[in-house]
A and B are shown apart, each in its own frame.
Chain A
Amino acid sequence: MAPDATIRRENAALQMRLEEAEETLRAIRGGDVDALVIEGTSGPQVYTLQGHDAEANRFRGEMLAQVSDAVLAIDGDQSIVYLNAAAERLYGFTLAQALGRRMSDIFETRWEMPADEQAAIGGLESDGEWRGEAVHVLHDGRMLHVDIGVTRLRKANGAPNGVLAVIRDVTERKQHELAVLVSEIRYRRLFETAHDGILILDPATRKIVDANPFMTQMLGYSRAELVGRELFEIGLLQDEAASQEMVRRLNLTRQVRYDNLPLESQSGRHQDVEVVANLYDENGHPVIQCNIRDITERRRNEDHVKLLMAEVNHRAKNLLAVVQAVADQTAKYGDPATFGARLSDRIAGIAAGQDLLVRNLWQGVEVTDLVRVQLAHFHELIGTRVHIDGPAARLSAAAAQGIGMAIHELATNAAKYGALSNRDGQVHIAWSLSTSTPPQFAMSWRETGGPPVVLPIRKGFGQIVVGRMVEAAIEGKVITEFATSGFHWSLTAPAAATLASAEPGT
């Protein structure tokens, strides 16, 4: 035979083989066959697509239509006899590489639960099939979470003959599930440990479906006692109508806020609470989340701040009135040429007393501190020419202002005309508390060794400050003596009107 004739013949034979292969494939795809001959290790074996239509459809469906799933078949000797394209991609083995090898050569199977392996074996034995999840560990260390459906293959006589596995890579879904789980744990922890009460309600029934531990602490009810009740039943809203109104408003605005609701715990403890209710969609179901915050402490602080603001305002007005009176009187009684200096000096005295009160948070002032502050110009004389003597006694703010101004005025006069105007004069400042009923506060300013005392020709504002003003401030009585031996000033007043009580702001 001529060589080209041989080639033509071989070509024709190959062409026919190809057509045969295509025809076979077409017939399998078209469902025209009901058994396949597979070359196994012990020769050709016939696999019937049992159960006729249903089984054939399943086979075609799994193997051909759902080609995104990996399909893998092993024979009775555990050798791989089939691997589809998706399985080749998934495991990184070609059909040629995998045929005849064992599954453990391709991947290692790890079960998520130890019982799963037994369930798989048991399911295959009893039902001829099993479906479940496992992890396939590949040679490069990658771990695939897989959903597996395994069906036992049977020979025509019914004897088991290998298994067919349809494997779906669900790694991504598993990772998503894990992320959801992590998120669930995180937000569950937030819910469990929040220092706000949290209630979850069903909008349809308005009943509580969940409560966090802080809520149970706030109310003194257990979670089981809270679940199934409405807000008005736990004292949070006034009545059923109020509950209905809240849900109605939530449906309109998605959020309802109550700035201040009274709430009583089971034990009767009163709390002021702020409630923020939100309407959410949770997997297509509406839920109401109520965050309940105990604002009792905050309210108390707000009230305190309001009180302090009012007090500061009151005191500022008082102080301005004092300064205004001092300015008027200084202008009225003094020499116009020295008005500025005298006013400035008196205001400095008021300011020194004010500073002392502020430093003591308006909780009163120790007499000795007040005296030293007002004698600041003469502090080097204290202990030598100025003697201060008296028990610990705390003056009220009003008393400190009046007495402070008086001391300031007495010191100014002593420096100008009295015991501190020469080199030898002395000043004795003393105070005491009597044990009589009611107790009396007494204070004196006695000058000795100064120049001869001259009775003032006219009464200046200084005398008003050391006299009427201080008397008015503390319901006291002042006596001034211009004795030739030295000027003497004394004050007596009820201790109740002079000394600071325990409460601030006196």
Chain B
Amino acid sequence: MSPDLVPPFQLRLYIAGHTERSRAAVANLQRICQTHLAGQYSIEVIDLIETPQRAASDQILAIPTLVRRLPKPIRKIIGDLSNEGRVLVGLNLMPEAAYSS
């Protein structure tokens, strides 16, 4: 991919096989991104059951965890991402005050 085509939102979702929350997290993330970040994102799903050693790079403790690698700074959101408001605040797509209110 050429530098021009690097999407502004690089997201990584760490899951643990096919657990209920992992599957929900994948589905919720895809829905939110298509709605709010269409054409501006990439998602990498990492299954730590298959590659547990990959947890180290982002210091993952709880699963599922969404990591926003770009834009900086790195942000993490834990859970199945069913609360869309929380996810949008976490991705900096919505001001925290708006979510809180």
Q: Which A residues are CB-close (under 8 A) to B19?
A: 34-35, 48, 52
User: Which residue of A20, A34, A44, A155 contacts B55 across the interface (Cβ within 8 Å)?
Assistant: A44
Residue of A13, A16, A37, A155 touching B61 (CB-CB under 8 A)? A37
In the bound complex, residues from chain B placing their C-beta under 8 Å from that of A46 are: 16, 48-49, 52, 55, 63
Complex-state Cα separation, A48 to B64, whole angstroms: 11
Q: Are the CB atoms of B55 and A33 closer together than 8 Å?
A: no
Chain A, range 9-42, C-beta contacts under 8 Å to B:
12-13, 16, 20, 23-24, 26-28, 30, 32-37
**Given known A24-B78, A34-B20, contact A43–B61 (CB-CB < 8 A):** no
Question: If the complex has contacts A46-B52, A156-B49, are A34 and B63 also in contact, measured as CB distance less than 8 A?
Answer: yes
B-chain residues with CB within 8 Å of residue A435 when the two chains form the complex? none
8 Å CB interface, A43-58 against B: 43-46, 48, 52
Please classify the interface of chain A as helix (H, G, I), strand (E, B), loop, or mixed, using the class held by over half of its residues. mixed
Q: Which of B16, B55, B78 contacts A156 (CB 8 A)?
A: B16
Is A157 an interface position by the 8 A CB rule?
A: yes
In this complex, the member of A30, A46, A156 whose beta carbon has the largest number of chain B beta carbons within 10 angstroms is A46
Distance in angstroms from A499 CB to nearest chain B CB is 115
Pick the contact of B16: A13, A24, A34 (CB < 8 A): A34
Given contacts A36-B61, A37-B60, A157-B49, contact A16 B55 (CB under 8 A): no
Q: In chain B between 3 and 25, which residues have their CB closer than 8 angstroms to a CB of chain A?
A: 16-17, 19-22
* Per-residue interface assignment for chain B, residues 46 to 83, with 1 indicating a CB less than 8 Å from any chain A CB and 0 otherwise: 00110011011000111110000000011011111000
Q: Indicate if the CB atoms of B60 and A48 lie closer than 8 Å.
A: no
Determine the interface band of chain B, counting residues with CB < 8 A from chain A.
20 to 34
Complex Cα distance, B63 from A48, in Å, reads 9
Closest chain A CB from B76 CB (angstroms)? 5
Q: Is the CB of B53 within 8 A of A36?
A: no
Within the assembled complex, what's the spacing in Å between the Cα atoms of A13 and B22?
28
Instruction: Name the A residues within 8 Å of B64 (CB-CB).
Output: 33-34
Indicate which residue in B49, B52, B63 contacts A33 across the interface (CB closer than 8 Å).
Answer: B63
Q: Which of B73-98 contact A (CB under 8 A)?
A: 73-74, 76-80
A385–B58 alpha-carbon span in the complex (Å): 139
Nearest Cβ on chain A to B54's Cβ, whole angstroms: 8
For the complex, give the distance between the alpha carbons of A157 and B56 in Å.
21
Instruction: Specify which chain A residues have a CB less than 8 angstroms from the CB of B22 in the assembled complex.
Output: 34-35
The residues of B that contact A12 with a CB separation of less than 8 Å are: 73
Determine whether the beta carbon of B62 is less than 8 Å from that of A24.
yes
**Do B17 and A156 touch across chains, with their CB atoms under 8 A apart?**
yes
Taking the nearest CB of chain B, how far is it from the CB of A294, in angstroms? 77
Contacts of A16 in B (CB 8 A): 73-74
Docked-complex contact A24 and B61, CB < 8 angstroms = yes
Task: Tell me the minimal C-beta distance from B18 to chain A in angstroms.
Answer: 9
B76 touches A48 (CB 8 A): no
Chain B neighbourhood of A32, CB < 8 A: 21, 62, 78-80
Docked Cα-Cα span, A48 to B16, in Å, equals: 7
* Chain B residues close to A by CB (< 8 Å): 16-17, 19-22, 48-49, 52-53, 55-56, 60-64, 73-74, 76-80
A-B contact pairs, 15 of them (CB 8 A): A23-B76, A27-B78, A32-B78, A34-B19, A34-B20, A34-B21, A34-B64, A35-B48, A35-B62, A35-B63, A36-B63, A37-B55, A43-B52, A46-B55, A48-B49
Q: What is A's interface to B at a CB cutoff of 8 Å?
A: 12-13, 16, 20, 23-24, 26-28, 30, 32-37, 43-46, 48, 52, 155-157
Query: Closest 9 CB pairs between A and B?
Result: A32-B79, A35-B16, A27-B78, A35-B63, A156-B49, A33-B62, A37-B55, A34-B19, A34-B21
Extra contacts, 7 of them, besides A30-B79, A32-B21, A32-B78 (Cβ < 8 A), are A26-B78, A28-B62, A33-B78, A34-B21, A43-B53, A44-B55, A52-B19
